Amino acid sequence: MKEPKKILVKKRDLTQQELKEYIELLRVCNAQHWRTAQIKANTSLVHNGLEVVKTEESVSVLLETNKNNWLSQVLISCGVPAGQAVNINSETGAIEYTEDVKK
């Protein structure tokens, strides 16, 4: 028998400050990822290219992890259950659920 869907109610959307911080973290992560890809594609042009690529990839992973942890904390403070997939409107900060809570 199929379980009935739970109706999830969030407390609030992102504030303008939280939205600005999220967009900035996203921009920094994307810039680092692009930089890493450029260095990786041109390792022969960079002194100690393979070592630099490993370092840049590590920095990229750390930034991405930091962004994800920050966003998880903010979403929990907004009343979103842990593991819930959401979409965030980048203009208004509105949080929309996209699927059921992961089990």
pLDDT tens string 80-101: 988 889 999 999 999 998 875 5
Q: How far apart are CA 36 and CA 45, in angstroms?
A: 14
DSSP for the chain? -PPPPPPP--S----HHHHHHHHHHHHHHHHHHHHHHHHHHTGGGSTTHHHHHHHHHHHHHHHHHHHHHHHHHHHHHTTPPTT--EEE-TTT--EEE-SPPP-
Q: Domain spans of the chain?
A: 16-80
pTM of the model: 0.79
Q: What is the pLDDT of residue 28?
A: 97
Q: What is the pLDDT of residue 2?
A: 64
pLDDT tens string 4-62: 566 666 689 999 999 999 999 999 999 999 999 998 998 888 788 889 999 999 999 99
Q: What is the pLDDT of residue 97?
A: 87
